[in-house]
Amino acid sequence: MNDFDFLTGTWDVTNRRRTDFLDEASAWEEFPAVSRAGRHFGGAANFDEIEFPTKGYAGLTLRLYDPEREEWSLYWASKRDGRLTPPVVGRFTGGRGEFFGDDEYQGKRIRVRFLWTDITATSARWEQAFSLDGDRTWLTNWTMDSTRR
């Protein structure tokens, strides 16, 4: 239940994302962010807000733990559109978090995967990938490398 406790605090984030999330040949762009996360409900909830100063927008993630299923549901919302995305759901095993969900991107049904890896007291890595073929292949389209402030 306390899997996301590591995220509590303020982080400097280096973002790398593809200019086209569905094209493996598209260029990568890099930009900074600052994330502030808090622990809630005794560790069964986690909330962070991230600001992208060079992009002019912000977003937030709400993470909720289901003790019966022993899994997390992660919801994203952006200041740009004010909507919660469908959740990605999963758990941590051996220090690695894997979360999957279904969504739509540019009119196409996609499978979404979030990975949390390389977690230490002062750093963590998040990665997003999309699949168009039912989890057979994945295209990583966004990474965030976070360093504790």
Q: List domains and CATH numbers for the chain.
A: 5-148 (2.40.128.20)
- In angstroms, the CA 111 to CA 134 distance is 7
Q: For each of the chain's 149 residues, which pLDDT tens digit applies?
A: 899 999 999 999 999 999 999 999 999 999 999 999 999 999 999 999 999 999 999 999 999 999 999 999 999 999 888 889 999 999 999 999 999 999 999 999 999 999 999 999 999 999 999 999 999 999 999 999 999 99
- Structure tokens belonging to residue 69: 């299923």
- In angstroms, the CA 81 to CA 62 distance is 16
3-state DSSP assignment of residue 41: helix
Confidence (pTM): 0.94
Q: Is 9 left (phi over 0), alpha (psi -120 to 50) or beta?
A: left
